[in-house]
Amino acid sequence: MRGVTILGATGSIGTSTLDVLSRYHERFRVVALTAHHQVDKMVQACIAHQPRYAVMADADAAEQLRGHLARHCPDVQVLAGSAALEQVAALADVDYVMAAIVGAAGLRPTLAAARAGKRVLLANKEALVMSGRLFMDEVQKSGAELLPIDSEHNAVFQCMPRDFSRGLDQTGVRRILLTASGGPFRNQPLSELDHVTPEQACAHPNWVMGRKISVDSATMMNKGLEVIEACWLFHAAPEQVQVVLHPQSVIHSMVEYLDGSVLAQLANPDMRIPIAYALSWPERMASGVASLNIFEVARLDFEPPSLERFPCLRLAYEAIRLNGTAPAVLNAANEVAVAAFLERRLAFVDIPRLIEHVMSQVSVKPANSLEAILAEDHLARQMAQAYLKTNTTAVL
């Protein structure tokens, strides 16, 4: 039986993971669950799955959780803080770690899981965006297994030759085609984007996701971060990763080979598919997702993304080409910008403007230590907050 820790158990990926695990009690055991502050959801998850540890990043939330669980499941040990997140990611009886904490907050515990040699089910893009070389070196050093959970990277993983780590050119691969829905504003007139509200930006046409990642999908920063992630995961150069708009979200990504063949992974848009694949790899197991009905799909459309419409995608390509700490700066500025937009303090169209301003102000440095990366992350956030003080635009 495999022990599992879920970092970010109350988010959409975490709840989907628990749904898959609930179908296989004989194969998997939930050892630890973590969350930030959603106490009610954590109580329900602990009652249903009886983990040994429940960790809240927020100390007050941990105290509330402790009180609830004393009545319902007193054997669950409640911990708090970032050190506890790293602790449960590296427990001896944990085999698999679902890394699903959104944003830079997930970097340290995900890195702890890699250093401990776990199978890391990577749903946290920022671990590779911020510390790609450092993270991949730790995976190789410890012998950890790294399986991507993003539907696009999971699709690429399924279509890649097993020895892709030797390099794409050495294994017959020409390029990776990352598909993107284009979000809710793919066809909206550019003049109308000035007045986009958080509610509109979070209304994704195909996926049910958290607010931050939904906004990233609307700006296509989400896809930009995935480009950076793909470069590290699959040992690809930026020019070997192409983004393709595919509004149906049925083809989750493709791999083109040197002989002209293109392999694609198709499925209904449901995160339980990549989760089940990563949990069972190299085998497969049922995910609980309905079969894809290709007759209902009927058509598949593709188009190139407009960098005028989606400047965040351009900025992400610039960051990975600069490398070093540039992707960490990009990510930090984006997190601040998206938070300000969701709080109605920044217009949707100003998200890329803030990011570009910060990238122009922070010099690129070698990303050769976690301390160096986090220092640049902190500096970028300070720059972004300073920008907001003089450039805030209220959102209706």
- DSSP character at residue 303: B
Find the length of the chain: 396
Pairing between strand 173-180 and 251-257? antiparallel
pLDDT of residue 18: 98
pLDDT tens across 360-383, in order? 999 999 999 999 999 999 999 999
Q: How confident is the model over 96-127, as pLDDT tens digits? A: 999 999 877 899 999 999 999 999 999 988 88
What is the per-residue pLDDT across 216-255, written as a single tens digit (0 to 9) for each? 999 999 999 999 999 999 999 999 999 999 999 999 999 9
How high is the pLDDT of residue 393?
A: 59
Among left, alpha and beta (phi > 0; psi -120 to 50; other), residue 261 is: beta
> Domains plus CATH for the chain?
2-149 (3.40.50.720), 311-391 (1.10.1740.10)
Let me know: does 76 contact 56? Beta carbons within 8 Å: no
User: Going along the chain, which residue ranges are E strands?
Assistant: 2-7, 28-35, 53-56, 77-80, 96-99, 119-122, 145-148, 173-180, 241-245, 251-257, 262-266
Residue 24: strand, helix, or coil: coil
Structure tokens at 143: 């012998």
pLDDT for the residue 210 = 77
What token pair was written down for 187?
């066809």
Which band of pLDDT confidence, cut at 50, 70 and 90, is reported for residue 55? very high
Mean pLDDT of 204-212: 72
Structure tokens at 318: 């610039």
